[in-house]
Amino acid sequence: MTRLDRRKFGFWYILFEQKKTRLFGLKGVIALGIGTDGGLALIRVTSASERIAAAGDLLTLVSALLGVVLAGFALVVAFLSDSYTIQLQKNPKGVRAFFAPFVINIGLDVGFVVGTIGYRAAAHHLPGGLEKAWFVILATIFVYAAFNITALARAVMAHGVTRAELISLEAREKELTGSDEVSS
């Protein structure tokens, strides 16, 4: 058994390992537009207190989202069959490539939670421009994190489709060989 390099499982390592077009792509451009434009529109019509309250609402949503993403990640890991894990490992980047969207989303959500708690604690004590810029950044990250749910859904769907194909292939192989052996 090889020794695992813990760095290769971290958020920053996986983030920088991704192709920029895959990581940001159209979804990132749209999130940047909606989050930035929406955040700028809100700072024009709201007070700092109203933005702090809105950040609290976003914090609640992302905290719940973080729990769901983490639970989904744990379930996907727990229910990988041996044969399917072997299939995933045949990818040049191995199983890590399949799990990368989960790690990126979890890291992004954790960063958002920490950033939002910091914003809510410091907003009234910051110069107006800095408070507003922080809010716009949080709005943009929120939209991007929400859009990234699609990436997770795609990964889980690919998992389901690939697993179904593997089960079908194993069943056909069993029929052809006449084997009574059941694979896991």
Residue ranges of the domains in the chain? 25-177
pTM, entire model: 0.77
**What is the rounded CA–CA span in Å between residue 70 and residue 62?**
12
Nearest to 62 by CA among 24, 102, 112: 112
**Is residue 85 pLDDT above 90, yes or no?**
no
* 149-155 average pLDDT score: 80
pLDDT for 23 equals 63
Q: Which is more confident, 150 or 106? A: 106
**Is residue 83 pLDDT above 70, yes or no?**
yes
* 45-68 average pLDDT score: 94
Residue 88, CA distances (Å) to 8, 27, 75, 95, 161 in order:
17, 26, 16, 5, 13
**What is the rounded CA–CA span in Å between residue 135 and residue 139?**
6
Percent of the chain with pLDDT over 70: 90
Residue 4 region by backbone torsions, left for phi larger than 0, else alpha for psi between -120 and 50, else beta: beta
Q: The tokens of 17 are what?
A: 């390992």
CB burial of 37-57 (b: ≥16 within 10 Å; e: otherwise) equals eebeebbeeeeeeebbebbee
Q: Find out whether 63 and 113 touch, Cβ atoms under 8 Å.
A: yes
pLDDT for 95 equals 77
**Is residue 82 pLDDT above 70, yes or no?**
yes
Number of H helices, E strands in the chain: 7, 0
Q: Find out whether 29 and 90 touch, Cβ atoms under 8 Å.
A: no
**Is residue 112 pLDDT above 90, yes or no?**
yes
pLDDT for 37 equals 95
pLDDT for 76 equals 80
